Chain A
């Protein structure tokens, strides 16, 4: 690790498998999924009836309840997790220069719940009754803005949205802010809340796995019997800093961001790459940008989400880039633990850091009939400390982000 390396110094997450690092790590290690039948809203009439939902997260433990009262769930969770991540990094808010703390967020939809509540009111009761207190939270940047407002942060602040790579793009921008010395600390977060409208929208476009009686087995990345995604809900925040700053504080970072790739492909609006060449390019570019050879990779934390096309093409891409090493390098997807959703980039980074920290590689727990026997698709936790992890982020519509995290 060089002096100027960018590292992940703190983390926090609210996920379907828990809200405390220890709880999440234990679930990941033991193979406990957070996907369960939906009880938050009525699911009669839908083919798919399960999701990964955050069971309980007391944002009030971290932010005064009065300040949270009128906020959307994504904003509440984001602000509370930002506080928690700073604490985890050993950073005191009062000891930081607020102008040097940046906030960069990613989300596919923002607060769909408030947007839908607002619009439902408008349709049902007319414009005169439209609720002015909901409207400001319909913007996707509400979460990042509320983080800055509630924590009093005055540094650069922005929000990205690019379907399944929204969170990854936020992290990459945070790296560039640190490299340009525009911040001392960047709080990076991403996530998605699950509400009925979003569930209905996904059901309507027939993306969901229709296996009502298999609460866990519906989401089967890299399995021959996969038939769609299961939705999830998760929000996470991490603190990014220069490595030398963290070392000076006498702390150990979770991982260093060794490099990344930003690439895309031009095919249909909601399509994944049918061949996988763009996925190969994403992986290749990320490895090159990180000065890492394919055989140095200790874990490929895949994008596999149980969709027919994405998973097969990702494996094609892995074969192309890794060649003979593909039989050895463990590949797994953690989506069967928490479900799939657009803004899951930072939750995925948190899962990666926790596994690296604890020294194991989580498996694709729903895998029974691997799509490709020649690739090392792992089903359950492997007792091996991953030191160089390639994270694949491939979104429908064609935007891809590759990232390499290394043990610091």
Chain B
């Protein structure tokens, strides 16, 4: 396949996989999300007594693992989540055994990753106990991707994106690039992140955590809720889907990465960074703002994020900005940091496929400063052709994905 042909071709989503606090496969996750199930509760992964807050969207039952005890002792919680979600996405795609391993790429988005293990090592170290060297193996950010490559025999391009809360959105964009550049024929893209003391204490120290389940875009919002999850998508070019008789869930139309260039933790108050990123993503996807039917917001429920995201949406979409139905699924699964972008991308794909928008939970009092149409109460049935999914991160690293309903190419 020549580069030029590949660049013109549609890229489609043919596989989905999820492990989350509200469901350990993508169908259970989707059903719970649309039914308004909230996964945010008491955290017992570590002792939270001394913290300001005690809640989070923790995964109660880790998915079963077929790995030997020896291998499992070397895997972090983040690795375990990633392996289970990736397994589902690959099975769901139907590509296994149909493409050479060298043509399957892997772009992974990481957050705190194996920090929970590294913390155990360091805590033992500091308390004068003998640390377990296995706890260091997950410390390099790239180690989860290596587990995935090793486990599923993926031998194409491999990369880990580390831009905190937008990592796994960017990883999806990278997969799109590789397919369009002809560097791979299929890509596994997504991310995984587990709760850790580092992030839990860090966001608490910044006083950006709500002691109760978070309420995005609500006038009384007090901050975010942390969560953990893993989610993956399998992407191929349309011709590959046709040749291998794979069923597309949706089309990945385009993406953009951008930056605020403003502050490490605060978003640019003018919203320019978010506006540039959304605008560029729409251009890359070849769609105009008036074609967008749904927004899966970054919606962290911090005062500034929601304010500025609303402002940016109104700027990009004009007077439609306050009408386009928008949802913030962090109200159900918490802010999953490195996995936030891809689990929201999965929700966006499913919204398009089922013409259904899951509700934003805990939304009671509209914030007059956030002029956006927040879907709440119950899931909203709505024909969706094009949707965007936003991710904004520490350091002002923004990513925006554009997803479109898949219409078979008629030649």
Contact = CB atoms under 8 A, between A and B. Distances in A.
B163 A163 contact: no
A192 B102 CA distance: 30
Contacts of A173: 174
A159 B149 contact: no
Residue among B123, B181, B202, B396 facing the most chain A CB atoms (10 A cut-off): B202
A205 B161 contact: no
Interface stretch (A5-13, A127-135, A354-362, A369-377): A127-135
Contact of B259 (A157, A161, A269): A157
Interface in A268-316: 268-270, 278, 281
A161 B142 contact: yes
Given A139-B395, A156-B257, A118 B149 contact: no
A124 interface: yes
A176 interface: yes
Q: How large is the interface on B (under 10, 10 to 19, 20 to 34, 35 or more residues)?
A: 35 or more
A237 B10 CA distance: 35
Contacts of A139: 162-164, 393-395
B143 A397 contact: yes
A197 B122 contact: yes
Contact of B147 (A110, A182, A200, A269): A269
Given A127-B50, A264-B154, A264-B156, A149 B262 contact: yes
Given A160-B160, A163-B142, A269-B150, A122 B201 contact: yes
Contacts, number: 232
A222 B266 CA distance: 49
A145 interface: yes
Interface residues of A, number: 73
Interface stretch (B82-90, B133-141, B303-311, B314-322): B133-141
A123 B123 contact: yes
Query: Per DSSP, are chain A's interface residues mostly helix, strand or loop, or mixed?
Result: mixed
A39 interface: no
A266 B206 contact: no
Interface string A106-119: 01111000011011
A156 B166 CA distance: 13
B140 A342 contact: yes
B202 A140 contact: no
A160 B108 CA distance: 10
A266 B154 contact: yes
A263 interface: yes
Contact of B264 (A107, A109, A146, A155): A146
B159 interface: yes
A195 interface: no
A225 B51 CA distance: 52
Interface string A388-400: 0000000101110
Given A166-B142, A266-B101, A116 B122 contact: yes
Given A158-B170, A266-B149, A110 B162 contact: yes
A263 B156 contact: yes
Given A118-B198, A145-B395, A266 B153 contact: yes
B123 A399 contact: no
Interface in B252-278: 256-265, 272-273, 276
A157 B260 CA distance: 9
Nearest to A144: B395
A161 B144 CA distance: 11
B142 A154 contact: no
Contacts of A185: none
A153 interface: yes
A132 B150 contact: no
Contact of B150 (A108, A157, A263, A268): A268
Contacts of B157: 262-264
A395 B396 contact: no
A173 B159 CA distance: 10
Contacts of A176: 177, 181
Given A132-B206, A136-B265, A205-B136, A158 B161 contact: yes
Contact of A158 (B122, B155, B163): B163
B323 interface: no
Contacts of A322: none
A137 B264 contact: yes
Contacts of B256: 156, 182
Interface in B275-309: 276, 280
- In the A-B complex, the 6 residue pairs with the smallest Cβ-Cβ separation, listed nearest first, are A145-B395, A397-B146, A262-B157, A157-B259, A135-B202, A161-B141
23 contacts: A118-B198, A127-B204, A135-B201, A139-B394, A141-B393, A141-B394, A145-B397, A149-B262, A154-B258, A158-B161, A158-B397, A159-B397, A161-B141, A169-B159, A182-B280, A205-B136, A265-B149, A269-B137, A270-B137, A397-B146, A397-B150, A398-B146, A399-B145
